[in-house]
Amino acid sequence: MSELREQADPPVRLIGFWGSPENRALPNPADFADPAWDEPERQWVADYLEHGQVAASWMGSSRCRLCSRVNGSRDLTDGRYLWPEGLAHYVLGHGVRLPAEFLDHIERRSRALEDLERDDSWWRRATGPT
Ligand SMILES: [Zn+2]
pLDDT value of position 4: 59
CA 105 to CA 109: how far, in whole Å?
6
Residue type, 39: E
So what's the pLDDT on residue 1?
A: 46
Taking the centre of ligand 1 as the mean of its atom positions, its distance from the CA of residue 27, in whole angstroms, is 16
107-to-50, 90, 91, 104 alpha-carbon distances in Å: 15, 19, 16, 5
- Ligand 1 centroid from CA 67, angstroms: 4
Residue 49 CA to its chain's centroid (Å): 5
Per-10-residue mean pLDDT, the chain, length 130: 66 94 89 95 97 95 95 96 98 97 97 95 94
Provide the 3-class DSSP secondary structure of residue 70. Answer: strand
What is the whole-number distance in angstroms between the Cα of residue 66 and the centre of ligand 1? 5
Q: What is the C-alpha separation between 28 and 17, in angstroms, rounded?
A: 9
Ligand 1 midpoint to CA 68 (Å): 6
Q: How many CB atoms lie within 10 A of CB 123?
A: 7
Q: pTM for this one? A: 0.86
The closest alpha carbon to 62, from 100, 125, 18, belongs to 18
**Centre of ligand 1 from the C-alpha of residue 39, in Å:** 17
